Every structure is written in structure tokens, then in C-alpha cells.
Amino acid sequence: MILPIVAYGDPVLRKKCMEIPKGYPKLEELLEGMWETMYNAKGVGLAAPQVGVPLRLFLVDTTPFADDEELSADEKNQLDGFKKVFINATIEEEGGEEWTFNEGCLSIPDVREDVKRKDTVTISYVDENFKTHKETFDGLIARVVQHEYDHIEGILFTDKLSPLKKRMLKGRLNNISKGKIHVDYRMRFPNMKKGR
């Protein structure tokens, strides 16, 4: 089932999310809905708070990034089919040089801004079978993991912009929270006036 994606301004996007206990009853159903919702919106990642569920869970599938002509064959191979569920994740370490990438977010449609992040991330998490993993990622995979991880900590990429950029974006972000935006996937807007 395609779930409505929660728009900028909803308090659920600001929650530090809770751990998911083993045997959580609706996990399978939630995962299914989140994958369908992410693919429908042409995203490469989706976090549970973005569908209104404040749990430490996010999905990543970087396959669409593999089409980028500027990438090397190696990079394309890494991105193609990188599909994972991250539950109860903790970032252990970030390292390498900071680099800039033009990020977007399904909860903040039509806004894209350059964001600086470190190149590598080491993260521990459990998968959908509650098997424990600790892995290090770099490049675009690290970038998507860092962006999604921020969501389960209540952080959005727009928080990382300069004060000037934030001021410039304020009006657009306000309009998004009111639903004054064209978007071709299902969304839920926190400040939309009722009865329209």
C-alpha cells in the first residue's frame, strides 16, 4: 500500500525515533508499504518518520544513481542493486574528507541544496531478520545512509544549510507545510487548511 509521505513542518519529522523491539508485530507490513511508497515517489531512501512512524527504521536502494554517466564503472556497480533495510541503526564513526552533494528529500519536494558531509560512515544496525551488521560505506551510498540516518534523529538536510540559505528557503518551506506545492506522489501536509 502506498503511504502518504509526511511533508516538512510535521512534528514527526523532528522526533528522535524509538528502537524497534524484536518481534514488532507490524514490521513486515510496514516494510512492504515503505518500499512501495519509496519506489512510487522515485526515491533512493525513505525513513519511517517520513510515513508518520517514529521508529528507528530506514530503507535505501541506490540503483537509480547507477545511471549517472559521470560515475566510474566501479561506482556504478556498487550503486546498482544496493538495497538494504536499516533497523535500530547507530553511526559509529564518520571519516574522510567532507564533500558537497546536491541533496533532496521526499518530505521537502522541489527543494535541492548542496550539503557537506564526510565521505565515509561506519554504521551498526540490524536487518529485517534482526541479524546484526556493522559496515562501512563511502561515496554516494554513505551519503544516502547519512541523510536517512538523520531522519531517525529528527534532522533534515535543510538544517545543515547556512543561515542565509535557510532564510532564503523559509517561504518555500512554509508553502510546502501548507500543501501549496505540486507533487506527483501522495503526501500529508501538516498545515493544510481543512475543507478545501
* Residues contributing to the site for Zn ion (CB under 5 A): 105
For the CB of residue 138, give the shortest distance to Zn ion in the complex, in Å.
20
Chain residue at closest Cβ approach to Zn ion:
105
For the CB of residue 2, give the shortest distance to Zn ion in the complex, in Å.
17
Nearer to Zn ion, 130 or 183 (CB): 183
Q: Is 113 a catalytic residue?
A: no
Among residues 123, 191, 126, 148, the alpha carbon closest in space to that of 59 is found at: 148
**Residue type present at position 59:** L
**Residue type present at position 102:** N
Give CA 98 to chain center in angstroms: 19
DSSP, res 49: G
For the CB of residue 147, give the shortest distance to Zn ion in the complex, in Å.
6
Q: Do 176 and 5 form a contact (C-beta atoms < 8 A)?
A: no
Q: Which residues contact 42 (CB under 8 A, 6 or more apart)?
A: 64
Euclidean distance between CA atoms 81 and 72, whole angstroms: 16
Q: Which one of 97, 98, 103, 148 is the catalytic residue?
A: 148
Nearer to Zn ion, 130 or 185 (CB): 185
For the CB of residue 106, give the shortest distance to Zn ion in the complex, in Å.
6
Nearer to Zn ion, 2 or 130 (CB): 2
H or E stretch covering 90: strand 83-103
Positions marked active-site: 148
